[in-house]
Structure 1
Amino acid sequence: MCDTRCETTIGLVLTVDLARVSFTRFAVPVAAEDVWTSDECEIGFPATQLVPSWTARTAPGAWIEVALRARAASGARTKWYVMGRWSEAGDPRMSVPGQGDVDGDVAVDTFVARRPVVAYQVRVTRHGAGALVTGLGVMASALPRHPVTPSDPLAAEAVELAVPRHSQHVHAGHHPRFDGGGVNWCSPASVAMVLGYWGRGPEPGELDWVGADDPAPIVDHAAMGTYDVSYQGTGNWPFNVAYAGRYGLAGFVTRLRSAAELESFVRAGIPVITSQSFKSHELPGSCYSTNGHILVVVGFTAGGDVIVNDPAAPRDDEVRRVYPRAAYENVWLRSSGSGGIAYVLHPPGHPLPPCTDGNW
C-alpha cells in the first residue's frame, strides 16, 4: 500500500462506457537520495496503461530519469521500464524505445501492459547536482470498449477563458532540428497558449535565437523545450508538462471521462489541453483529419458546445472554433483515440475543481 509519501485517489467502478482511472501524486523529498523509490501503490482495478508526468528544475549538467515497474494480479512483478530522461537544457530529453517484453512495452510516454496490472512503483533517479523534482504523478487506466455516452452541460451560462491564440501552421518550416514546425507543433503551440493565459513563459532574452521575424517566438521556444530526441517530435505528453513546470506551473497528465469533467475545469478558470484523433466528417467545423492532435479547451457555449483554441487553424485569427459537444466528446474519449487524455497546467495556488472519481 502507499504510505505518506504519496496521495492516492482510487477511481470508482464505473459503467462500461467510461474509462477507469486512478491518479496518484507523489512528494519526492528534497533531501532524498539520488535514487528515490515509492512504496507500491494499489490501483484499485486491473489497469492496462500507466502514464507518469512530472515537473522539475535541473541545473546545467543535471537531469532526471523516471521509471516504473508494475505488479500483475498473479503477484508477478515486471522489470523497471524507463519512462523518460529529462532536463531543462535537453541534454538529455528523451524517451527510451526498445524496452518491450512479455509484460508490456513503452510507447513513447505510456507503459502499455500486455497483461493487466494492479499495482506499481515509481522511481526517480537524479543525475548531477541541482536536480529538484517539484511534482510527480502517475495515471493508471483501463479504457472502455463501448461507445461514448454523451454528457449533459453543467450550466446554462456560457463561459470562455481569455487564452491567447497561436496557429501552429504559421511556423511551418521553422527550426527543422525540432521537427520543423507546422503540422508537427500542435502540442507546443497549445502549451504556449496556456502559458500565455497564466502570464508565464520565457523571458525575451531566452527568445533571441528564434529570429526577429517570427510571429510567435514562444511557440518555437516551447517546441525546443519539449522536443524528444528519441521520438523525434514535440508530442511527448509528460515532456510538455515538464516544460510548463520550468515557468512555475503545476501540471499533470490524466484521463478525463466526460465533457462535464472538462467543463468543471474551465468553469474553475483552468483551460485544458486535450488529445484526440478523427476524420474531418466526425468533427464538424474542423475541416481536417488527424491521427493525433492537441488543442486547448477554453470555454463552453450556453448550449454546452465546446469552445477551443485549435492550433490547426491556418492563421492566429482563425484559431478560435466551436465544436458540437457530442461530436467532440466522441472523438476525444473513444478508446481508438487517446481516450480522454488531458494536460492540466495551473499555478500551484489555483484550486482544481472538486474530484469525486479519483482521476486528478
Structure 2
Amino acid sequence: MSRARQPSPGADRRPAGSDRPSRRSLLTVAVAATVAGGAGPATADVTGGTGSSAAPARPVDHRSWTTYADWRTGTARGTRAVAGVRPGLVIGAPAGTTDYTDPHTGTTAAWEYATWTSPAHRPAVPSTEAIVSWNAHTPAGTWLQIELRGTYSDGTDTPWYVMGRWAAGDQDIRRTSVDDQSDGRSTVWTDTLALDDASTGLRLTSYRVRLTLYRRPGTKRTPTVWRVGAMGSDIPDRFTVSASVPGLARELSVPRYSQEIHLGQYPEYDNGGEAWCSPTSSQMVIEYWGGRLTPEQLAWVDPAYADPQVCHAARYTYDHQYAGCGNWPFNAAYAATFDDLRGVVTRLTSLTDLETLIAAGIPVMTSQSFLEEELTGAGYGTSGHLMTVIGFTAQGDVIANDPYSATNEAVRRVYPRREFENVWLRTKRHDASGKVVSGTGGVCYLYFPARLSAPRRRALAAVGVR
C-alpha cells in the first residue's frame, strides 16, 4: 500500500515557464508504505574543518532587525523599542483601533494597534524571491501582522503584501497566510514573494518590512517582537548544481522523531502525521537546543499518543489558509517561542555551507523534492519534504534525521552526498509525468540560541545570518 503526503508550501508552488500550479502541490511519486532506515546512535565528533574550495559570490542576502538600535530606526506609529538582554519592539501608545474579521472563524473583534516600518534595505543581490521570518512573544489577547513591500528595478513598488497574520496560540485569531496577492508582476505563494517572470530581468532591488502589533482594547498586554527580517535571493534556473568537495566528518546528537507514528492523529491539522514533516523536524531541533514543553502545555494531547510534543508542534505551526503545517516562517516563529531560541528562514548555497554550520554544532532543516530514484535510500518520492541534516560521514555523505520513517529508531539515514546536494539545491526538476516543476533551491530553517558562542556566531555570519 502506498500513501500520499501533502508537501510543504514552498515546494512547486511557483510557475515553471507559463504553467502556474495550484496553491497546494500533490505528491509526485506515491510514498512507499514502509521505509527502510538506518538505526544506530548518534556519534561524537570525528574530525573538524570545512571544504577548501573557494565559494562563489552568494546569490542570497539575509537582513534581520534585532538590536535596540535597529528598533529605533525606521518609522514607528505607537510602538517603542525596549532594551535589555533581548531587545524588542512593543506597543507603547496605540496608534488607533480597528476591526478584524477572522476569515477562518467569521468572528469580528476590535483591536488596538501600533506599527513599525523598517528602513529600506537594499539587498546585496537584486532578488527574484523574498521570504520574511520573525521571532515574537504574543501573550493571550495579542497578535501580529507582518508585511513586505519591495521596490522593483524599474523604480516602482509592489503593494504591501501580507506575509503572515500570526499568534503563538490559536484562541484569539487563527494564524494564517493570505492568498490571492499579486500585482501582475509578483505574487505571494503562501510564505514566499516571487517575481512572476524572472526572465524579463525585473528584480527586487530593495524592500521594507512593516509590523502591526495588535492587542485587545483597554489592556496593557503587548506582543514583543525580537527579530524580523527577510531573505532575498536570485537563484538561477538549474536542474543540476556543481558538486562540492567533502570537508567535514561530524555527527550531532539530535533527537529522532517519526511523523509516521502519528498517522490519523488530529486530522484537523492537515490529515495528521502524514503531513507533519516540518513540525516534526522543528521539534527535533528545538529539543536539541534544550527546548521542552511542560505537562500543562501538553495536557490537551491524548495521553495514549507517543511523543505528544510532535502533536503540539503541528497544532502551533498550522496555517489555516494553507491548511498545512509546512509554512516556513510559522515554523521558525514557533521555535522562537521557546526560551532563548531564535529561528530564521534562509537559503544556503552548497553542502559546504551545511558543513560550516554542522562544524559549529548547528543542525539544519532542509527542504527538498525528488523522485524516488533520485535519492538512494529514501524509498519514496515527494514534491516537498523537510528533514534535518545532523552531520556528514567520513566519505562526505549526508546524515539526516528523516521524519518520514516507520519508527523513531529508523529516522537516522545516510544519503549519498551528490544526490542529496542536487535534490536540495536545484530550482528545476521533472516530476513523475515529465513536467518541469520548481525545486526549493536551498531553502532551510536555522534555529539557534539567543546567546551565541563566538564559533556559532562566526558560522552563522559565514552563511549570511546575523
Aligned length: 343
Which of 255, 261, 266 aligns to 2:353? It is: 261
> Cα RMSD (Å) of the superposition?
1.6
Partner of 1:348: 450
Q: Structure 1 130/328 Cα, relative in aligned 2: closer, same or farther at 3 Å?
A: same
Partner of 2:441: 339
Deviation at 1:356, TM superposition (A): 4.3
Q: After the TM superposition, which of the residue ranges 67-76 and 27-36 deviates more from structure 2?
A: 27-36
Instruction: Check if 1:148 corresponds to 2:148.
Output: no
Partner of 2:390: 298
SS in 1 for 2:243: coil
- Match for 2:210: what amino acid? R
SS in 1 for 2:154: coil
Q: Structure 1 161/110 Cα, relative in aligned 2: closer, same or farther at 3 Å?
A: same
CA distance in structure 1 between the partners assigned to 2:125 and 2:255 by the alignment: 39
Deviation at 1:78, TM superposition (A): 1.1
CA distance in structure 1 between the partners assigned to 2:325 and 2:146 by the alignment: 18
1:19–1:142 contact (8 Å) kept in structure 2: no
Deviation per residue, 1:115-158 (Å, 9 max, x gap) = 42111000000011320101112000011123200111223xx2
Which of 175, 179, 193 aligns to 2:284? It is: 193
- Match for 1:355: what amino acid? A
Instruction: Check if 1:23 corresponds to 2:115.
Output: no
CA distance in structure 2 between the partners assigned to 1:358 and 1:176 by the alignment: 38
Partner of 1:159: 250
Instruction: Check if 1:117 corresponds to 2:204.
Output: yes
- Match for 2:425: what amino acid? L
Partner of 2:175: 93
1:21–1:359 contact (8 Å) kept in structure 2: no
Deviation at 1:206, TM superposition (A): 0.8
- Match for 1:131: what amino acid? P
SS in 1 for 2:325: coil
- Match for 1:345: what amino acid? Y
Partner of 2:129: 49
Residue correspondence of structure 1 range 269-280 to structure 2 within 5 A: 269-280=361-372
Deviation at 1:89, TM superposition (A): 1.0
Partner of 2:148: 68
1:19–1:144 contact (8 Å) kept in structure 2: no
Partner of 2:186: 104
Partner of 2:401: 309
Q: Structure 1 168/357 Cα, relative in aligned 2: closer, same or farther at 3 Å?
A: closer
1:168–1:313 contact (8 Å) kept in structure 2: yes
* Residue identity (%): 43
**What TM-score do you get using the length of structure 2 for normalisation?**
0.71
Deviation at 1:19, TM superposition (A): 6.4
Residue correspondence of structure 1 range 121-136 to structure 2 within 5 A: 121-128=208-215, 129-136=221-228
Q: Structure 1 35/287 Cα, relative in aligned 2: closer, same or farther at 3 Å?
A: same
- Match for 1:45: what amino acid? V
Partner of 1:358: 464
Q: Structure 1 31/58 Cα, relative in aligned 2: closer, same or farther at 3 Å?
A: closer
CA distance in structure 2 between the partners assigned to 1:263 and 1:45 by the alignment: 23
Residue correspondence of structure 1 range 153-302 to structure 2 within 5 A: 153-155=246-248, 158-248=249-339, 249-302=341-394
Deviation at 1:251, TM superposition (A): 1.2
CA distance in structure 1 between the partners assigned to 2:242 and 2:328 by the alignment: 26
Partner of 2:30: none
Deviation at 1:273, TM superposition (A): 0.5
Q: Structure 1 165/31 Cα, relative in aligned 2: closer, same or farther at 3 Å?
A: closer
CA distance in structure 1 between the partners assigned to 2:209 and 2:460 by the alignment: 26
- Match for 1:20: what amino acid? P
2:90–2:222 contact (8 Å) kept in structure 1: no
Q: Structure 1 247/354 Cα, relative in aligned 2: closer, same or farther at 3 Å?
A: closer
Q: After the TM superposition, which of the residue ranges 350-359 and 274-283 deviates more from structure 2?
A: 350-359
Partner of 1:4: none
Deviation per residue, 1:2-52 (Å, 9 max, x gap) = xxxxxxxxxxxx85xx86100001134335661000111111332110000
Q: After the TM superposition, which of the residue ranges 140-149 and 291-300 deviates more from structure 2?
A: 140-149
Deviation at 1:61, TM superposition (A): 1.4
**What TM-score do you get using the length of structure 1 for normalisation?**
0.92
SS in 1 for 2:329: helix
- Match for 1:80: what amino acid? W
1:19–1:143 contact (8 Å) kept in structure 2: no
SS in 2 for 1:266: helix
- Match for 2:176: what amino acid? M
Which of 154, 159, 164 aligns to 1:79? It is: 159
CA distance in structure 2 between the partners assigned to 1:291 and 1:354 by the alignment: 28
1:255–1:359 contact (8 Å) kept in structure 2: no
Deviation per residue, 1:36-83 (Å, 9 max, x gap) = 001111113321100000110001110000000111111111110000
Deviation at 1:303, TM superposition (A): 1.0
Deviation per residue, 1:160-188 (Å, 9 max, x gap) = 11111111010001101111223200001
